C-alpha cells in the first residue's frame, strides 16, 4: 500500500530530509537554544514509545533550535511522535502549548493510485481542498501538513476555533474519492502528535516527507471550510517581548508568569474514570478501540488522574485490545494507544457524551439530576439557597431573580467552587453560570491580591 502512495509522491514532488522538514515547520530562532534559559522561547517535544517490558512506557525528548535531536531520533527503532507545536516545560499537555506552527491532518484508507489522483485533482482543479505544504507517507496513510506563514498562539478562544476548522477540513479530506474509509472518518485532536519524519512505521519502514506546496495563511484555509467553522477571531504570534507584555498586560503576567496559575478545569470523581476503564475492557470492539482509548484519556483529565497512571492503565490494555483484531492490517499497538492519549488535555474535558457514545459504539445513559425529577431537583436547589443565604440575599426584590448576584453570593461563600458546583448548588443553567463565573472569579482574585 505504501509503495503506491510513495511512488506517486516521488513522481511529482521532491522528497525532503527530516531536518529540512522540521526546519520548515520551526524556522531558525523560533525554538530555544540548547542550554539557554531566560529568553522565553519554547521547545518542541517528541515522545518515544519504549519496548514492552521497559521500566517506563514512554520517554520524552526536548527539541531545541539546533534540531540536533531530530538527527538522533531518526536513528531509533521505536515509534516516535512529534507535533508541530512549541511548549513551555517538558510536558506536552495542551495547557503548556504556546504556538501552533502547522495544522496536520491524518488521512488513512488511501490504497489506490486513483485515490492519489483524486486527492490532487480536488486540490489543483476542483478547488475543493487547500494545498498542503508537505505530505508525509506514514506507512499506512498520509499526513497532510498545512504550515502557517506565522505561528498561531495557543489561546483557548483561538484553539477552540482552530479545532473546528480542522474537524471540518478532516471531514472534507475523508471523502469517498480519496479514501476507502469515508464512512469511518477519524477525527483527531488539534494537539495530536504525528509519526516522526524519518522514524519507523507500523510496517517496519520509514516515514518520508515531500514538499507539495507553500506555507499557508489562516485566511487561505478559511476559504475551504464552512463559515461557522472558520477561524475569525485570532492574531498571529505577537512581537511583544515578555517585558513589554508585563507592562501592557500586568494581570495576565502576574497570573500566568509570576504565579504560574493553571487554567481552571472541572474535576469529576474518580468513579467516572474507573467506569469507562471497565467499559473499555469489556465492551469495545475492533474499529472502535482507538476512540475507546481516546475517551479514557478525556475521562482521566476530567477526573484528575495523573498522566503516569493513565499511561500505565492504557498500555496495560493494549495486548487484550489487540486480541480483538480480525483484520490483519489493523492490529492495535502501543503506538496507537499513545496516539489516542493525546487527548489528555483541557480542551477536550467537555467532549459531548453523544459523541463519545457514537465514536465508541458504547451506549451511555445520561444521568440527569442524579435520577431526580425536575420538581425535586428545584426543591433541593431552593433548599440550598435558603441554607447558604438565609436572609434571601440572592433574591431580586423587584421581581425575577437576577442570576449574577446569586452566583456572586455563592462564590464569595465558597471561593473554591467549580462551575459545576455553582450550577448544581444554585440551580441555575450552565450557560448562565458560565457567563458570569470567570469575571466574578477574576474580581475575587483581584480583591484578594490587593488585600494581600
Instruction: Give tens-digit pLDDT for 191-210.
Output: 889 999 999 988 788 999 99
Q: What are phi and psi of 208, to 5 degrees?
A: -125, 145
Report whether 407 contacts 437 (CB < 8 A).
Answer: yes
Report whether 94 contacts 154 (CB < 8 A).
Answer: yes
pLDDT of residue 9: 94
What grid cell was written down for 227? 463559515
Report whether 77 contacts 202 (CB < 8 A).
Answer: no
- Whose grid coordinates read 431526580? 372
Left if phi > 0, otherwise alpha if psi is -120 to 50, otherwise beta: which for 386? Answer: alpha
Distance in angstroms (rounded) separating the CA atoms of residues 19 and 41:
20
pLDDT less than 50: residues of the chain: 1-2, 261-266, 368-373, 393-400, 452
What does the DSSP assignment read for 35-65?
A: T--SS--BBEEEEEEPPTTSSSSEEEEEE-T
3-state SS assignment for residue 384: helix
- Identify the burial level of 384 via C-beta atoms within 10 angstroms of its C-beta, where 0-12 means exposed, 13-18 middle and 19 or more buried: middle
pLDDT of residue 258: 61
How crowded is residue 56: how many other Cβ atoms within 10 Å of its Cβ? Answer: 12
pTM confidence score = 0.63
Distance in angstroms (rounded) separating the CA atoms of residues 125 and 134:
19
Distance in angstroms (rounded) separating the CA atoms of residues 348 and 5:
33
pLDDT of residue 205: 87
- Whose grid coordinates read 499506512? 140
- Identify the burial level of 380 via C-beta atoms within 10 angstroms of its C-beta, where 0-12 means exposed, 13-18 middle and 19 or more buried: middle
pLDDT of residue 263: 46
pLDDT of residue 265: 43
How far from each other are the two terminal CA atoms of the chain, in whole angstroms?
Answer: 65
3-state SS assignment for residue 69: helix
What grid cell was written down for 65? 533550535
Amino acid at each position: 500500500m505504501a509503495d503506491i502512495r510513495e511512488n506517486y509522491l516521488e513522481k511529482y514532488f521532491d522528497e525532503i530530509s527530516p531536518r529540512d522538514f522540521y526546519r520548515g515547520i520551526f524556522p531558525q530562532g523560533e525554538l530555544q537554544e540548547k542550554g539557554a534559559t531566560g529568553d522565553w522561547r519554547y521547545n518542541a517535544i517528541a515522545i518515544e514509545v519504549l519496548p514492552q517490558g521497559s521500566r517506563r512506557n514512554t520517554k520524552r525528548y526536548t527539541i531545541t533550535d539546533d534540531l540536533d535531536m531530530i538527527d538522533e531520533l531518526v536513528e531509533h527503532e521505536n515509534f516516535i511522535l512529534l507535533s508541530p507545536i512549541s511548549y513551555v516545560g517538558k510536558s506536552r499537555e495542551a495547557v503548556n502549548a504556546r504556538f501552533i506552527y502547522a495544522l496536520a491532518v491524518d488521512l488513512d484508507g488511501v490504497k489506490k493510485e486513483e485515490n492519489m489522483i483524486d486527492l490532487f485533482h480536488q486540490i489543483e482543479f476542483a478547488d475543493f481542498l487547500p494545498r498542503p505544504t508537505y505530505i508525509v507517507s506514514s506507512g499506512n496513510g498520509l499526513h497532510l501538513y498545512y504550515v502557517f506563514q506565522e505561528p498561531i498562539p495557543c489561546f483557548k478562544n483561538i484553539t477552540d476555533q482552530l479545532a473546528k476548522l480542522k474537524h471540518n477540513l478532516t471531514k472534507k479530506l475523508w471523502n469517498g474519492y480519496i479514501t476507502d474509509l469515508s464512512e469511518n472518518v477519524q477525527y483527531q485532536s488539534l494537539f495530536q502528535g504525528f509519526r516522526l519524519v524519518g522514524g519507523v512505521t507500523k510496517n517496519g519502514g520509514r516515514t518520508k516527507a515531500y514538499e507539495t506546496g507553500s506555507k499557508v495563511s489562516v485566511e487561505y484555509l478559511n476559504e475551504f471550510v464552512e463559515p461557522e467553522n472558520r477561524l475569525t477571531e485570532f492574531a498571529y504570534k505577537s512581537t511583544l517581548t515578555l517585558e513589554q507584555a508585563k507592562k501592557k498586560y500586568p494581570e495576565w503576567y502576574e497570573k500566568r508568569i509570576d504565579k504560574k496559575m493553571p487554567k481552571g478545569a472541572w474535576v469529576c470523581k474518580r468513579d467516572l474514570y474507573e467506569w469507562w476503564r471497565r467499559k473499555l475492557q469489556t465492551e469495545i470492539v475492533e474499529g472502535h478501540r482507538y476512540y475507546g482509548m481516546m475517551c479514557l484519556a478525556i475521562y482521566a483529565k476530567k477526573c484528575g488522574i495523573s498522566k503516569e497512571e493513565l499511561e500505565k492503565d492504557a498500555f496495560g490494555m493494549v495486548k487484550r485490545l489487540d486480541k480483538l483484531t480480525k483484520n490483519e492490517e489493523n492490529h492495535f499497538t502501543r503506538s496507537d494507544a499513545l496516539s489516542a492519549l493525546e487527548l489528555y488535555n483541557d480542551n477536550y474535558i467537555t467532549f459531548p457524551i453523544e459523541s463519545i457514545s457514537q465514536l465508541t459504539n458504547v451506549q451511555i445513559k445520561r444521568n440527569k439530576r442524579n435520577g431526580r425529577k425536575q420538581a425535586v431537583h428545584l426543591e433541593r436547589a431552593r433548599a440550598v439557597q435558603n441554607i447558604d443565604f438565609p436572609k434571601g440575599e440572592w433574591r431580586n426584590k423587584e421581581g425575577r431573580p437576577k442570576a449574577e448576584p446569586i452566583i456572586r453570593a455563592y462564590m464569595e461563600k465558597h471561593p473554591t467552587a467549580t462551575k459545576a458546583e455553582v450550577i448544581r448548588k444554585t440551580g441555575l443553567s450552565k450557560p448562565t453560570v458560565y457567563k458570569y463565573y470567570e469575571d466574578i472569579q477574576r474580581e475575587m482574585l483581584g480583591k484578594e491580591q490587593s488585600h494581600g
